[in-house]
Structure 1
Amino acid sequence: MLEFAFAWAVLALPLPLLLWWGLPPHRERASALRVPFFADIVAASGVQPGTGAVVRRRRRTQAALLWFIWLLLVVALMRPNWVGEPIVRTEVARDIMLAIDLSGSMDYRDFPGRDGQPISRHRAVQQVVKAFIAERESDRVGLIVFGDKAYIQLPFTRDLATASTLVDLMAVAMAGPQTALGDAIGLSIHAFESSSIEERILILLTDGNDTASRMTPINAAAIAERNGVEIYTIGIGDPQATGEDRVDFSLLADIAGRTGGEFFNAEDENALAAVYQRIDEATAAEVNTESWRPRQSLVVWPAGAALLIGLATLAGMRFGGRRNGA
């Protein structure tokens, strides 16, 4: 879209015409030679003598070119700009850390899929987490995986494609066969320290009990609460199992409650997807957007065209004058 920054400069368009009407014509005195036999020369030449004024008249082509050059200069003074399509920038609304359990029990094929057929717990988590990440247009996302220890797989980023790819690359037991639940919370607190975003959310998903942490999950949750980290916990295992395979729902509920979050029990893939949707609704944040249109100055085109036409006209007048003189 074409816009003019100083459209009022169009008022200068009739200025040459006003000057032509209002100012007196240019006069220039020239030296002359007086001869005593001037009458005889005039009689011999047969020319009727007149005044010594010489009025030069421009051709119509020259006048048209001069007006066109002036028009181009006025357009340049109006500062034309080409305005592109609006570009919208969305500010970061939240920092969301996803802590995913990759202990050996996540490979069990006892988790009901959307079609009712059992799939591995890990596969169900991958599918739902990828769908959740794909909708984080205004958020930054980070990934933590934990087993024997907790590891940051991806710091906070808005590169959702990379986050989704890394979820695909997750493998069961890649962090060890046990469950370091408390260490995963502690590592997420450390990751949030570099964040300047006020809304900080940790989504913690596990199918086992804490068996390998150096920091207890309750102590880690207390530290998270002091640091403004809201924890949402998701349990997908069997609370009636024993040892590593048992999920302590009461512990997960206590962790979430201490930080102002919520605990969820995902019994199948549909329920797991619904959990992430409920978390998204419960933590909805106001998104600030800023839009602007890129502008490209076009002043050089009319100004350059006026210069080239003016030089060509001047060269033509000079060349034509010399030919006529010859």
Structure 2
Amino acid sequence: MFKEIEFANPQFFWLFLVVPILIGWYVWRRKQQTAALKISSVKGFKVTGSVLAKVRPLLLVLRLLALSLFIVAMARPQTSDVTAKTKTIKGIDIVMAIDVSSSMLAQDLKPNRLNALKKVAIDFVDERPNDRIGLVVYGGESFTKTPITSDQAIVKRALKEVKYGLVNDGTAIGSGLAMAVNRLKDSKAKSKVIILLTDGVKTSGSIEPLDAAELAVAYGIKVYTIGIGSNGVAKTPIALNPDGSFRYGLKKVQIDEELLKTIAERTEGAYFRATSNSSLKKIYDEINKLETTEIKEFKYTNYDEEYRPLVIAGLILLVLEFLLKNTLFKSFI
């Protein structure tokens, strides 16, 4: 409890140095007021003790206690309640551009590339509470799944809804990147970032990826590119069964790493390769560290003055001392 109390005027505690002076003055004064009678013997006198005489110093104790309470009250004891609010000073707008082509159903990441990505991306959103995030999906064409928003619940719900079949099959990297640039070009944020993820090479789309990268440069947008897929071969959809399900077979993993590196280099971003669930998680953690948001914390302190009970208690002690002095101890003073 006492750790929560602060004193606004602690210099008043120096007044406690007066207390021993008052005690010494009281002892000296009592000696001066006490009359002395010298006789040769007290054998002929009946000696009786007086309880009131013995407890008479109680008056001094009451007065000193009252003085002590007043000194503590003048030091202004306070309790404080601190509330903190944070404000984004320089936020970041982020658009995640996600490849949803059939190859994203490859099972070299568990349970497959797309579902592994969705889990990591949702965790990434949770770690960016002060930023706005949007979502673009692309395959043979692209579209905006979610415009940039500060509502994390909307972004996470949109990520959970991402699946194969939202767009025609294919890998239109240029279209996906251009759509993401379009979502960010009018942003006033301190930093504008695109996280472009793909597991293949450009197979469709009318926009060249490097042309889209030049658009990103023109609007001051940084692009982090991620190539997802293990080295070698992976169990990948290769055909459709009569019931509409995919038939899987081993297929060589092909990622246009040179293109992704060039896009990242031109936009002052970085290229990453995710060959497993753990490496994909580390990549998003790394991007999270690279793109930091400036937050300012405002603290508000509410003070409650606690001197009033001390003053009241001191006055009560003075009144009690006055009453005892003028009633019970009147004949001794």
Per the TM superposition, whether the score is higher than 0.5 is yes
Aligned position for 2:133? 142
2:203, 2:181 → 1: CA distance? 13
Q: Structure 1 residues 100 and 284, CA, compared in 2 at 3 Å: closer, same or farther?
A: closer
Equivalent position SS for 1:205: strand
Aligned position for 2:177? 182
1:174, 1:84 → 2: CA distance? 54
Aligned position for 2:312? 307
Residues 201-225 of structure 1 show CA distances to partners (whole Å, capped at 9, x for unaligned) of 3211134648567x76444422322
Could you list the structure 1 runs, at least 4 aligned residues long, displaced by more than 6 angstroms after superposition: 16-21, 83-94, 286-292, 318-324
Structure 2: segments with no counterpart, 5+ residues: 26-55, 239-253
Aligned position for 2:70? 73
Q: Counterparts in 2 of 1:1-326, with a 5 A limit?
A: 1=3, 2-14=5-17, 60-82=57-79, 95=92, 97-101=94-98, 103-105=100-102, 108-113=104-109, 119-133=111-125, 140=131, 142-147=133-138, 148-152=142-146, 155-156=149-150, 162=153, 165-166=156-157, 169-172=160-163, 176-177=167-168, 180-190=175-185, 193-195=187-189, 197=190, 199-207=191-199, 209=202, 211=204, 217-236=209-228, 249-277=257-285, 279=287, 283=290, 297=303, 299-300=305-306, 302-311=307-316, 314=319
Kindly, what percent of the aligned residue pairs are identical? 20
1:183, 1:123 → 2: CA distance? 24
The residue type paired with residue 312 of structure 2 is L
Equivalent position SS for 2:61: helix
2:218, 2:73 → 1: CA distance? 61
Equivalent position SS for 2:224: strand
The residue type paired with residue 181 of structure 1 is G
1:206, 1:75 → 2: CA distance? 70
Superposed displacement of residue 123, structure 1: 0.5
| Equivalent residues of 1:99, 1:144 under 8 A apart | yes
The residue type paired with residue 112 of structure 1 is D
1:146, 1:109 → 2: CA distance? 15
Residues 161-193 of structure 1 show CA distances to partners (whole Å, capped at 9, x for unaligned) of x488436623215854465413432234236x2
Residues 87-114 of structure 1 show CA distances to partners (whole Å, capped at 9, x for unaligned) of 79797786262414263526x5313126
1:298, 1:15 → 2: CA distance? 29
Aligned position for 2:43? none
Equivalent position SS for 1:172: coil
Equivalent position SS for 1:235: strand
Q: Structure 1 residues 16 and 262, CA, compared in 2 at 3 Å: closer, same or farther?
A: closer
- Relative to total residues, which structure has the larger strand share, 1 or 2? 2
**With structure 1 as the length reference, what TM-score do the two structures score?**
0.59
Let me know the Cα RMSD of the aligned residues: 5.0
The residue type paired with residue 182 of structure 1 is L
Q: How many residues align?
A: 269
Residues 66-121 of structure 1 show CA distances to partners (whole Å, capped at 9, x for unaligned) of 33232222212223344789979797786262414263526x5313126xxxx332
Q: Structure 1 residues 19 and 299, CA, compared in 2 at 3 Å: closer, same or farther?
A: farther
Q: Structure 1 residues 69 and 231, CA, compared in 2 at 3 Å: closer, same or farther?
A: same
The residue type paired with residue 106 of structure 2 is D
Superposed displacement of residue 232, structure 1: 0.9
Q: Which stretch shows the higher mean deviation, 124-133 or 164-173?
A: 164-173
Q: Structure 1 residues 174 and 319, CA, compared in 2 at 3 Å: closer, same or farther?
A: farther
Q: Structure 1 residues 248 and 71, CA, compared in 2 at 3 Å: closer, same or farther?
A: same
**With structure 2 as the length reference, what TM-score do the two structures score?**
0.58
| Equivalent residues of 1:182, 1:220 under 8 A apart | yes
